[in-house]
Amino acid sequence: MSDSIVFSDLSLPPSILKTLKNLGYEIPTPIQKESIPLLMNGRDLIGQAQTGTGKTAAFALPILSRLDVSQKSPQILVLTPTRELAIQVSEAFQAYARHLKGFHVLPVYGGQSYTIQLNGLKRGVHVVVGTPGRILDHLRRETLKIDELRTVVLDEADEMLNMGFIEDVEKIISGAPKTCQIAMFSATMPGPVRRIAKLYLKSPSEIKIESKTTTVESVEQRYLLLNNNQKLEALTRLLEVENYDGVLVFVRTKSATAEISEKLEARGFAAAALNGDMSQMLRERTVNHLKKRKLDIVVATDVAARGLDVDRLSLVINYDIPHDVEPYIHRIGRTGRAGREGKAILLVTPREKRLLRDIERATKQKIEPTQLPSSQEIGRKRAELFKERVLQTFANQPLHFFTEHLKELKKDLNMSLEELAPALLFLAQKDQSLQVEKSISELKYAQKEESQESREKLSGKAKSLRKRKLPGNVKFDCYRVEVGKRHKARVGDIVGAIANEADIESQFIGNIRLYDDYSTVELPEGMPKEIFHLLKKTHIRQRKLNLRLLAEA
């Protein structure tokens, strides 16, 4: 297939294409481009590709395209090595199926209450995503039926081998219908994994994607962790403080290019949008303006930036983190060319930290954290620029008229130069105030930084508890949160929100029970007040958790 392939060329149904457009997916990654047509045609498949190359969409999209929503028994089984990946894959299926009415996916893994899983299975599910041990346990109990499965997916098969699950995997596959389609994805193909493929897959197609593991060495990579509603403020602050020549700001959707560029222009930046809906003439004019320094900032989608080669680009800002590694590599490759130094900054929300880790693993490079530029830094930068403007004006402009006018002002107003200067300076600063006030977002950010030590204590305590073999020696407090089944909350939502906001690994979160209007969650006792108040304000499914001890509820 040619490199110009887009998702609409892959025979995906309109409901899936609509979702992809909403999510900002435009160009399939190599593994998606190769896998989707084969899986749509019912072929068995061996896909060899690294984490972060878009494997989940590569099997989820064609699977959803062939799904029969009217059939309530499990049609798809996805095996993963860890519960974290099971939750991640389940969430991806849910996101891709947002326009499939009545669709249900269930994550099944050890450590979670059987009641939740049994209720989900009784209700009827189309896709089950789980770890081999717990899936096998349900099969033994006969609480999970796989006699009507259409497809089995082995995700990260080599990791399941490394974790000792390969025998369980084989038992599960052997119990599936012989006509079942099987897709296996693995970064490597060790002997036992290859043996299972040979034994159970029927004339499989094989795809091997050579993922880029290094990025441009001259590109300095950093990330900024923040909430979604802080992104625009963070972007404008970065653009004020960072030293750059030309900037590319990447967003996921075409509409976002226009929205962000307009907001930057309103803040005094020379910015423009670049997206696939623009005419070729307008695109070329935008690029030429960037090259000729009539523009400093271009806000673009991945598609629109293809083939863009502008020497003066020294900074790439990922306003929206890409879903896969390949687009990230292409994005930051726009800077640091021809031996020049370049910088790349990622804006990452707590729920996107997994994507950040995927990028680090695949590129084998550490992306360093950075902080939101402070009001003091912005004030210093504005003062420096103001001084430069004063010097340039003094050197290049005839000032005799203004000197005479100043004398008249002194006389008319009966004021000294020392008294006049501050007022004139205030008028001269225009919209770029030299006195920068702390914003609400900055104050919140500062409060989070101040509570970092407390979070580390809680996280450290959890880690020390792990060494004593959780949960046996752990004392938990039980909390109530104001989100439940009626709000379509899932255990994975609660685990993810608490893990991200409190910086606690998910395995240190105890039992979670979902009720109609609320849920309960066990957390290590002795939670610092800062973390308690942080979680109290956290939202899940657009509802404030309002965390409180169950005994006090």
Residue-wise pLDDT for 274-294, tens only, equals 987 888 788 888 988 998 999
> Per the omega criterion (within 30 degrees of 0), is the bond before 471 cis?
yes
CB 108 within 8 A of CB 86: yes
Q: What is the mean pLDDT of the chain?
A: 83
Is pTM beyond 0.85 here? no
Burial class from Cβ neighbours inside 10 Å (0-12, 13-18, 19+) for residue 321 reads buried
> What's the angle, vertex CA 137, arms to CA 132 and CA 143, rounded to 5?
115
Domain architecture of the chain: domains with CATH: 7-208 (3.40.50.300), 219-372 (3.40.50.300), 376-428 (no CATH), 451-552 (3.30.70.330)
The token pair that represents 323 in the structure block: 């879903």
Q: At what angle do helices 400-413 and 417-428 cross, to 10 degrees?
A: 120
- Alpha-carbon torsion 351, 355, 356, 357, what sign? positive
Sheet of 548-549, strands arranged across: 512-514, 519-524, 476-481, 548-549
Q: Under a CB-based contact definition with an 8 Å cutoff, are residues 61 and 95 in contact?
A: no
322 contacts 215 by C-beta, under 8 angstroms: no
Cis peptide before 322 (omega within 30 of 0): no
Angle at 193 between CA 190 and CA 195, to 5 degrees: 105
The counts of H helices and E strands in the chain are: 21, 20
Cβ neighbours of residue 392 under 8 Å, at least 6 residues apart?
none
Query: pLDDT at position 537, please?
Result: 84
pLDDT of residue 510: 85
The low-confidence residues of the chain, meaning pLDDT below 70, are: 1-4, 51-52, 211-218, 306-307, 337-340, 383, 429-474, 503-507, 553
Backbone angles phi, psi at 459, to 5 degrees: -65, -40
pLDDT at 456: 47
Q: Are 210 and 50 in contact (CB under 8 A)?
A: no
Q: Give, for 273, the enclosing helix (H) or strand (E).
A: strand 271-274
Instruction: Find tokens 């993963």 and name the residue.
Output: 80
Q: What is the predicted pLDDT for the residue at 327?
A: 82
Q: How much of the chain, in percent, has pLDDT values that exceed 70?
A: 86
Half-sphere exposure of 429 (CA within 13 A, CB side): 14
- Spell out where 284-376 has E strands: 297-300, 313-318, 342-348, 368-369
- Model pLDDT, residue 330: 80
3-state class (DSSP) for residue 299? strand
Which token pair is 346? Answer: 């990622």
H or E segment at 271? strand 271-274
DSSP state at residue 438: P
Task: Spell out the SS3 assignment of 460-471.
Answer: HHHHHHHHCCCC
Pair of tokens at residue 182: 């099987």
H or E element, residue 181:
strand 181-186
Q: Which residue has the tokens 């259409």?
A: 150
